[in-house]
Amino acid sequence: MLCFIFAALIVALDQFFKHWIMRTLDIGDVGPEVIPGILGLTRWENDGAMLNILSGQQWLLAGIAFGAAIVLIMILLRYNEGFWGTLGLAAVLGGTVGNLADRVFNGGKVVDMFRTLFIDFPIFNIADIFITLGFITFLVHFIVLTVKGEKNERSTGYYNEGVYDNNYDNSSYDEFPNADVVSSAQDEAYTAESHADYTVPAQQAQYSEQEQYVPENYTAPQSEYVASNDYEPIADTATDTSYTLDALKAELDLMDDDYGDYNVDDLLREYGFEDEDTL
């Protein structure tokens, strides 16, 4: 809202000096020099725009000024590109409303008061000064923002091509929802100084392999399938209680040539067991 206060101050300043000139000088009179050799005072009323454009079209110019003021107000309500840009637009708005007030309350004519002494230049007023300075300020600010934006785009062009997305939403990545928890627990439990103190986190422990259950004092029954009198590997299990599943598989591999495709499942069914897990 400060920009509108600034614009209102410009209107107040412009109208104050215009009414002062109207009370002090008659139309066409020359007043004192404000800046010797550069700027002096006078009184003139212009029924056209700057540089006498559209002279005699007072109400058309009033309508254009009114529309421009509305547009500037709408832009300022939404503009947030920096202080200098806002200041420039507010200055243009204040000057536009100042001249619009003249056209509405002074018979469609704008009161001008300043004349240049070193060159032949049209007479102007305070509103014209702020319109010109505000437009230049906004234009320079816009150019600076454009140049900076192009530099930033060139410097980040690699990422803007889709290789990297700065707006990536980490919350949507849930392939490993407990990864951060497990990693954090590992960092706390595991140190380079003492590996012995390391403990598996609860989230990770549930995925570790379970040890294969082997019944104690297992003795395999005498097998009727014996390769020969010289080699009876299965018969040894009747007295060897430490005989394991891997050992049985190794023995069966040696017996494939004599008994064909005879596997552990077949052997277990012969012994009355359902599957390998019973070993």
**Domain locations in the chain as residue ranges:** 2-156, 214-279
**Contact 255/262 with Cβ under 8 angstroms?**
yes
Q: What is the pTM of this model?
A: 0.54
Helix (H, G, I), strand (E, B) or coil at 41: strand
Question: Which residues are designated catalytic?
Answer: 112, 128
Q: What is the largest distance, in Å, between two alpha-carbon atoms of the chain?
A: 143
pLDDT at position 24: 92
pLDDT tens digits for 213-258?
A: 556 665 655 555 444 444 444 544 445 544 566 776 777 777 665 6
pLDDT tens digits for 47-105?
A: 877 666 777 777 888 899 999 999 999 999 998 888 999 999 999 999 999 999 998 99
For the chain, how many helices (H) and strands (E)?
9, 3
pLDDT at position 226: 47
